[in-house]
Amino acid sequence: MTNEKLYEVLGDISEKHINEARAYHKAKKPGWMKWGAMAACLAVIVVTAVSVLSNYLNQQGTTPPDNPNGVIVDNPTDNPDDDTTPTTSEIHISMDNISFNEVEALMDAARLWRDPELYDRIRWDRNAVIDYYGKELTPVYVPDGLTAANGNGTARVVADKSGDIVEDTVWLGFYHDYYEHGSPKLTEGVTARKGFSITVSKIGLLNDCLYILPENEVKTSDIGGTSVTFGYRSMPYGPYDPDTHEPSGYYDMYVAEFQHNGIEYQIVAEQMEAEEVVKVVSSIIYGEEVIVDK
């Protein structure tokens, strides 16, 4: 049929008949088409929800169910603009879940006299210390402004004549400055050291921290599955008033004690923030820097 004929036939159909035909078509529309359209809409909604939820979860930190102490590991995220950028993750420590016990005193146990006929004093260099402890003892995180003391990573240990180690303590210092003879320099204004020391041993530390609370009431904090005992004491500094014997003021001292991978640690920090101490401890346990949330 030519276009002219088609136009002629259509032109003879009245508008009334066209409207009646349209109404009849709507009335007879199959039900499966209606339900099919609804199913298609539902599918679109489900796909959109899954996509949005997936993107949301990838942007949020997750708290592992076996970690009650607030360590949050963020899900790895990719840089969409650079395919060569590796995925990264962050470890968060919440200060709300860190407990500090009041410290009564730091005690240094009396050193046993060792008969030189039975024992030898041995000097370990850095490599010997690493071989014995199986790792580098310097923490991953050291606050800005603090530097390592001379002799860090070396030690003088005691062995019996058969070669068995009976004293293995290693001391490391990280302070703001040092005197010529190597000891930490006192700060101006506050006549005290500024920085921290780490004492480690596999046999047992010779120094101890005494807390105000009885031993069974001292609180510990969980960091990466390691139980850490944190302590705090407000320390006085001089010069002292000759009449009242009152100090010039006070500064913060923090202590952290824990065992990790068979090594016993004691950290003593002076004139440092609590968050910095937690960050030092966490970097030893995790082997990387962490983010401490106040």
> Residues 20-77: pLDDT tens digits?
545 444 444 455 444 454 554 445 444 444 444 444 444 444 444 445 454 545 444 4
Distance CA 263, CA 154 (A): 16
Element (H, E) at 289: none
Q: What does the block give as tokens for 281?
A: 């401890």
Of the residues 29, 50, 73, the one at which a domain ends: 73
53 and 123 housed in the same domain: no
Average pLDDT over residues 173-183: 96
Give every CB contact of residue 266 below 8 A, 6+ residues apart in sequence: 198, 199, 200, 205, 207, 209, 255, 256, 257
pLDDT in tens, 77-126: 445 555 565 556 799 999 999 999 999 998 876 678 899 999 999 999 99
Cis peptide preceding 236, ω within 30 of 0: no
Q: Which domain, by its residues, includes 35?
A: 1-73
Distances in Å between the Cα of 29 and the Cα atoms of 37, 38, 180 are 13, 15, 98
pLDDT at 251: 97
pLDDT in tens, 234-252: 999 999 999 999 999 999 9
Of the residues 25, 41, 73, the one at which a domain ends: 73
Split at pLDDT 50, 70, 90, the class of 6 is very low
Average pLDDT over residues 138-158: 95
pLDDT at 3: 47
Number of domains forming the structure of the chain: 2
110 and 5 housed in the same domain: no
31 and 118 housed in the same domain: no
- The answer to whether 178 and 149 are in contact (CB under 8 A) is yes
